[in-house]
Amino acid sequence: MLTGMVDASWLRVLAVNPTVGLPSLVPKWCSVSHVNSTMPVYIFQQGLTKGISSIPFGWPIVKLAPCLALIYLLKWWFGGAVNTSERKMHSKVVMITGGTSGIGAEVARGLAMRGAQLVLLTQHSLTDPFLVDYIEDLREQTGNHLITAEQVDLTSLHSIREFATKWVDNLPPRRLDMIILCADTRTPPGGKATVTEDGLEPTWVVNYMANFHLLSILSPALRAQPPDRDVRIIFGTCSSYMGGQLFDSPTSSTAAGSSKKNKTANGSRSKKSTSGSIYSTSKLAVMVFAQAFQKHLSSFTRPDKYPMNARVFLVDPGWTRTPGMRRFLTFGSLWGLFVYLITWPLWWLILKSPEQGAQTFLHAAMEAEYGRGEGGWMLKECRQYNITRSEVKDEEAQKRLWAVSEETIQKLEKEGAKRRATEKSKQKEQDKTDGKVNGKATGNDKQTNGGTKQRK
């Protein structure tokens, strides 16, 4: 008989169906919500007093609990650090590459939720249904309508110059508080070798050359910002940079799988270039360039004599379940995708989600501490890390890489301009030929009609 306390078995029944039981014996304070909230206490009490066997599925739960706890701890460990920094982002203009998928999309979402004005650089046409829907969804989810896009093909030097020149030529100079470079690509192991319209390997162009070309042109826009503005340039990198090898002419890196050999910085011949070696080298190159670009900005003397207010960051997000990572793990094949799906619980456990991978980017964008200092910091797990490779800080390597990259871009742009001029002239000749053919056809039609009338 119940005296002031309801038996645990009756509480379980009442929790499932409150209409069952002896209502007259249940105190007024014992509502269903109260029963549900205190249920673990009664279960624990019953386990202590009557033994675990008295609890339904008690022993299986006890045996399974350590495994669940271990999985939880591993997931927490591999998930990495969480950004705790906050900063008012309202009215701040942030330019993002790779902002429509993976880590870049989560960075864009995080900044948009804090009120930043986003300019997404994307290869998609501005009328592409995917891009239109993506921006509309992002605006609705974040409540921020200051999200726009610009079409820039990062595999095309000409496309990058067109956009960057248009941005720089604006008077007065457009506001630009931050550039976040999240765009990243990699040819999967054993993938088919391809080249861009400029004759370069896509991984090398997107991961390094596009960043070099874009920032080289946008440099005046960054230096023109007011002295009280905290300008930040954030590069995405990867721990694979430690396996990279800078060449005398890294822009001549052969496509993945090519049998050609390249000269290294010391003049010796490197091994056959693979997708992995090119990817590692591109990450090493972007880190060397980031340090050089920080020196380039810091050496500028402002007309108002204020110190330079632009700072460069290198961010390693860690191993993350991005589309690029999935393409790498599956080797770009259907069989690889099948194996990936079977082993997905493992990847879910040890790889970060895109949201977790974006935390260090958000930390670099919002941490107030980084609004002071010389810049050039390497960040991982929301804190500073030392750079392993000595070439990254080597001033000679920085100058050599900058000079070679600049020379290569100038050469390729001249070749591209000639190619476009030739194609344009051919198109004009084709249009003239088509016009003449159409004119003759029209003339023949008139003669035929006239001949018919004469016969009549």
- How many CB atoms are located within 10 Å of the residue 434 CB? 10
How, if at all, do strands 377-380 and 178-181 pair? unpaired
Phi, psi values for residue 119, rounded to 5°: -120, 105
**Percent helix / strand / coil, the chain, rounded to 5:** 55, 10, 35
Amino acid at 203: T
Based on the residue annotation, tell me whether 283 is a catalytic residue of this protein.
Answer: yes
Q: What whole-number distance in Å separates Cα of residue 401 and Cα of residue 393?
A: 12
Whether residue 63 contacts residue 52, with contact meaning beta carbons closer than 8 Å, is answered with no
The per-residue DSSP string of 265-302 comes to TTSPBPPPP-HHHHHHHHHHHHHHHHHHHHHHHHT---
**In this structure, what DSSP letter does residue 260 have?**
-
Q: What whole-number distance in Å separates Cα of residue 327 and Cα of residue 42?
A: 50
∠ CA 280-285-288, nearest 5°, is 130
**Rg (alpha carbons) of the chain, rounded to whole number:** 31
Comparing C-alpha atoms, which of 137, 155, 156 is closest to residue 147?
Answer: 137
Q: What whole-number distance in Å separates Cα of residue 83 and Cα of residue 93?
A: 21
Tokens of 5: 């306390």
Q: What whole-number distance in Å separates Cα of residue 335 and Cα of residue 332?
A: 9
Q: Out of 166, 283, 295, 428, which one is annotated catalytic?
A: 283
Comparing C-alpha atoms, which of 392, 354, 330, 284 is closest to residue 98?
Answer: 354
Task: Please give the positions annotated as active site.
Answer: 283
